[in-house]
Amino acid sequence: MKVTLHVNYQTPNHVETLFQSQQLSISEAIIIAEDFIKTGRVKALHFEDPYDTTLTLKEIKQYLEKFKQDPHDVTLYFDGGFDHTNGMSGLGIVIYYYENNKCFRLRKNARVRELTSNNEAEYAALELAIRELESMSIHHQDITIRGDAKVVINQLLGEWPCLDPVLNQWIDRIEARLEQCHLKPSYDVIGRKLNQEADRLASQALNKTYIESMAEIENNRS
């Protein structure tokens, strides 16, 4: 989660002014706030999160400690595949996150019948990943979403139009879930090689090999 720092500052000649920072990580905002306080010239100071919640320095420190203990710094990968011969779809998701200063990876796939295209399978895979975040009680934070589905990501970014009513329904569902959990996504289109974990999971699902695993890993994500 990013926050803005608001400072009411007074010079030695009693001239007052207000400062508002750009969006900062919580750790950065605390460092800068404490540096301001060292001057002895701060009349008032607070932080605001993206949801217009006002927090004191004590509250933001408490939030940071709790934040470190909960799943955070989330990056998810998704991929979907559609088999035209039997109408089945394979969904694959990989979620990386930190908790208590450790890095974890969740891998999961699913095989579903009711979809009708590869693009729809890609949307379904992304929704599956977001539902997984909900089940992990991940909320009120920034997340990174990566995939090789250019159509899906550019439509979610609003850069490409979506004229398909079925895909528009998927967009609405995904955006509603993100809003409900107060998750702010940033989207990255990546090459297929960088998405090979999710791609493999989707292919395994199509072959009726089901995966659901959680593991602690080394802190070496790309």
Could you tell me the sign of the dihedral formed by the alpha carbons of 26, 32, 34, 40, in that order?
negative
| Banded pLDDT at 52 (limits 50, 70, 90) | confident
pLDDT in tens, 11-35: 999 899 999 999 998 889 999 999 9
pTM of structure: 0.79
pLDDT in tens, 147-182: 999 999 999 999 999 999 999 999 999 999 999 999
What is the average pLDDT score of the chain? Answer: 94
Superfamily (CATH H level) for 72-217: Ribonuclease H-like superfamily/Ribonuclease H (3.30.420.10)
Q: Is 202 helix (H, G, I), strand (E, B) or coil?
A: helix
pLDDT in tens, 179-205: 999 999 999 999 999 999 999 999 999
Distance between CA atoms of 29 and 21, rounded to whole angstroms?
9
Q: How many CB atoms lie within 10 A of CB 143?
A: 22
Domain boundaries, the chain: 2-69, 72-217
